Amino acid sequence: MKIGKIISFVSVKGGVGKTTISLETAVCLANEFNKRVLLIDGNISAPNVGLYLDLTHKTGLQDVLEGMSFQNAVYESYGVDVIPAALNNYDKQDILKLKRIIEKIKNRYDFIILDSSPHYSEMVPIVAASEIIFVVTTPDKVTLDTSLKAAKLAKKNGTPIEGIIINRIKDPLFEMSCEEIEWTSGLPVLGKIKEEKKMIQCLFYKKPLMIQNPKSKSAEEIRKLCQAFVGETEKRNWFVEKFLKNSENNMRREQVNREILRKKMNY
């Protein structure tokens, strides 16, 4: 059975890079795979998407939740339709309306990407509105254990969790391996993204990595994930698979996991 394409990236811990991955995935799908993409910032208490893209307008998701027309809160950026969360403070927000709003507009897009808040109360409606979820974590035990709380929430809601993305890898010698993370979480690892100085440049220039430096290693990892989303078979690096050892062989594990995901999403 083909699974849906309302996708969210979640974690109960801030600073793991959910917003970056959400943004780069949306930009990649729109620009490299010619997909119609909507990116929604579901982090109402601490919005970041608008800051990343210099979309600090007065209107945003909160206004849509209060009844404003969807079209009045959509901004185009790098080929992606974006609904940022407004920086204004609002007394009350019924974010549970988000699912109903998405149901009305989802046929306009190939993919809807939801950037989640790390706060439990704001994450619940994001999970409820999603059709497929990915957990984002850094490769340390404390963050992984915290991040898996989001997975438990998704399971409770009945939303499929298709895997984990390991982000901000700095030194694999002192961090959890791919096998350890899969064993601890019970979820397949779909991507490993290293901490790159290029990301700091992107934040400074407010320009996505997929645009600023599309040939970087991090951009390539995002591209591989998006290939699975759209149904493209990933090219295999036979040289790497034959001659590299140990930690590099984890790459084959991720390729297998992404191939399984590709078949699920494009059955």
Residue found under tokens 């700091």: 200
Q: Is there a domain that residue 194 lies in? A: yes
What average pLDDT does this structure show over 201-215? 92
Note the pLDDT of residue 211.
96
Q: Is there a domain that residue 1 lies in? A: no
Structural domain including 70 reads 6-265
What average pLDDT does this structure show over 156-169? 91
Q: Is there a domain that residue 173 lies in? A: yes
Q: Is there a domain that residue 78 lies in? A: yes
Number of domains in the chain: 1
* Distance (Å) of CA 207 to CA 57, 200, 232: 17, 10, 26
Query: What's the per-residue H, E or C state across 62-104?
Result: HHHHCCCCHHHHCEEECCEEEECCCCCCCCCCCCCHHHHHHHH
Q: What is the pTM of this model?
A: 0.91
pLDDT band at 1 (very low <50, low <70, confident <90, very high): very low
What CATH number has the domain bearing residue 184? 3.40.50.300
Residue 29, pLDDT > 90, answer yes
- Cβ pair 117, 45 in contact under 8 A: yes
Q: Is there a domain that residue 236 lies in? A: yes
Q: Is there a domain that residue 180 lies in? A: yes
User: What whole-number distance in Å separates Cα of residue 178 and Cα of residue 144?
Assistant: 12
